[in-house]
Every structure is written in structure tokens, then in C-alpha cells.
């Protein structure tokens, strides 16, 4: 499984509707509007690394109003849920 974080810059006049369009791109698991240099962060999960190109360039970048993207591919995933499972000794 390949996990990627895609940063998205959008045109100002489409900010209110583009988030839901980004979230509907196949392969996008979640989409957040954010503060800072970027407007949206898309979390992408795909079973095959090769599919990432299609999701980003054929999907996210083609949503009307997307100005540019930056993709970061994750090497390893860490989460509070994963860490709790590793250290759970069955005590409640």
C-alpha cells in the first residue's frame, strides 16, 4: 500500500467548493482545508505505487481551480492507534 500527502494550492474563487471535489477523486481518502502556504491537504492511499501518478496528475491536478500540487510519499506510517496496539498488554 502506498500512502501520500498531496498539498494543493487553489484559485481563490473556488475555495468553497473545491474541497468536496478533491475528496471525491478516486484514491483520495481524506481532504482537509488548511492554513498556511497551501489551501488543501489530500491524503491518498493506493494499493500500487504506480497508481499514484494517475491519482495526482489525472485526478487531483485536473480538478477545476487547482493551481499546483506537491506530493510527498510516505515511507512509514505512525499513529497513536498503531502505538497503542504495539504496547497493549491486555490491561484495561
Sign of CA dihedral 44, 50, 53, 58: negative
Confidence of residue 77 (pLDDT cuts 50, 70, 90): confident
Average pLDDT, stretch 70-85? 76
Scan for cell 481532504, then name that residue.
31
Question: Does 2-87 carry CATH code 3.30.70.920?
Answer: yes
- In the predicted model, what is the mean pLDDT of residues 25-32? 96
Per-residue pLDDT tens over the stretch 19-28: 999 999 999 9
Amino acid at each position: 500500500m502506498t500512502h501520500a500527502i498531496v498539498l494543493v494550492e487553489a484559485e481563490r474563487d473556488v475555495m468553497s467548493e473545491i474541497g468536496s471535489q478533491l475528496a471525491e477523486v478516486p484514491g483520495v481518502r481524506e481532504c482537509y482545508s488548511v492554513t498556511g502556504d497551501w489551501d488543501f491537504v489530500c491524503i491518498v492511499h493506493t494499493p500500487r505505487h504506480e497508481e499514484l501518478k494517475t491519482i495526482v496528475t489525472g485526478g487531483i491536478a485536473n480538478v477545476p481551480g487547482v493551481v499546483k500540487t506537491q506530493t510527498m510519499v510516505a515511507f512509514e506510517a505512525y499513529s497513536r492507534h498503531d502505538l497503542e496496539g504495539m504496547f497493549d498488554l491486555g490491561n484495561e
